Amino acid sequence: MIQVTKEDSKYPFSKGILARSLSITGLTLDEIYEIVREINKKIEEENQKTISSKKIKKMVRRELLNRGNKEEEKFYRVSRKIRYLDKPLLILIGGGAGVGKSTIASELGVRLGINRIIGSDTIREIMREMLPYEVAPALHESSFMTDKVIGAPFVKNRLIYGFDQQVRLVNVGLKAVIGRGLKEGLNTIVNGVHLVPGYLDLEGEKKGYIFQYVLNVPDQEEHEERFKMRAEGSHRDPDRYIEKMDKIKMIQNYCIEQAATRDARVLTNSDMKSTIRKIIIDIINELEPVVNDE
């Protein structure tokens, strides 16, 4: 059995682990395993019992370039350095209900090797237990139902006013969690409707590489279809969301308006693979100058 050496450790060569490391490239599974088989063949031809992980990475990069996959080689090369960055990576993904935030966050986590994925609704649930309804009623309603708890009679847009209150409260918790992660050097992905550009004050945070996005959907028909799809295998009633589509759309438009006045990119999430690729291109292009070649 071939052993891979890395610093003072040693472990068996695994085609599965090598294939997983290539997922960042966006190549198809067939293409990935074709490369893995070729690398495995070359290692066996050397007829050595041990090989360094650094040499394997160089072999992979050479194989990608030989196949004309220049951009994919860059993805692979830079992504292998993400865990060793001088500052942690922070990716913020916002947008209204049903635009695909959780799905994109999960897939990005797999591609980039980031295990720390936080949903803003989780923060809201925790804060609900700490702050009773009488103290913070906006925390106790869904984002698109916050107009129910607004007592101010002269507010022009009760939904946006209530949503604004909820976002401000949740962002107190988000800032604490994100700040702790940056302090400890943890790569993190945060997703949720509460990640509205301009609310989370990170201007003073120079401790991380920060990327912020707001997802959008191409049209209402597809938006409704997504609620039906995500209801499969869960207890969520799609009709509850579809019936409130006007309110959900109002919040979505508000998020996009805020993104337009801040340094946040709006991505129309019509195709998951395309959206993920755009985000990865952004990240890799910015990080490439700060990572050292092996």
| Cβ contact 112:89 at 8 Å | yes
Helix and strand numbers, DSSP H then E, in the chain: 11, 8
Tokens encoding 241 = 């969301």
Q: Which residue has the tokens 């019509």?
A: 270
58-66: long-range contacts at Cβ-Cβ below 8 A with a sequence spacing of 24 or more?
58/294, 60/18, 60/21, 60/22, 60/35, 63/35, 63/38, 63/39, 64/25, 64/35
**pLDDT value, residue 284:** 95
| Cβ contact 22:73 at 8 Å | no
**pLDDT value, residue 294:** 52
- The span from the CA of 130 to the CA of 136, in Å, is 10
| pLDDT at position 206 over 90 | no
- The span from the CA of 189 to the CA of 206, in Å, is 17
For 67-157, where are the alpha helices, taking DSSP H only?
Answer: 70-79, 101-112, 120-130
Mean pLDDT lowest among 58-67, 136-145, 222-231, 242-251: 222-231
- The span from the CA of 82 to the CA of 188, in Å, is 12
**pLDDT value, residue 132:** 92
What are the residues facing 209 on neighbouring strands?
Answer: 89
* Interval 62-88 mean pLDDT: 93
- The span from the CA of 248 to the CA of 252, in Å, is 6
3-state secondary structure at position 132: coil
- The span from the CA of 271 to the CA of 243, in Å, is 25
Tokens encoding 168 = 């401000």
Domain 83-290 part of CATH 3.40.50.2300: no
| Domain regions of the chain by residue span | 3-80, 83-290
Q: Each residue of 114-169: pLDDT tens digit?
A: 999 999 999 999 999 999 998 998 999 999 988 888 776 677 888 999 999 999 99
Tokens encoding 272 = 């998951």
Tokens encoding 10 = 């040693």
| Cβ contact 4:52 at 8 Å | yes
Mean pLDDT lowest among 145-154, 177-186, 268-277: 145-154
List the one residue out of 204, 210, 212, 137 whose CA is nearest residue 169. 137
* Interval 208-232 mean pLDDT: 85
- The span from the CA of 99 to the CA of 133, in Å, is 28
**pLDDT value, residue 233:** 66
Average per-residue pLDDT in the chain? 90
Across the chain, the runs of DSSP E, i.e. the strands, are 3-6, 9-12, 50-52, 89-94, 116-119, 188-191, 209-216, 265-268
**pLDDT value, residue 225:** 83
| Cβ contact 138:162 at 8 Å | yes
| pLDDT at position 205 over 60 | no
Q: Which letter does DSSP use for residue 100 in this model?
A: S
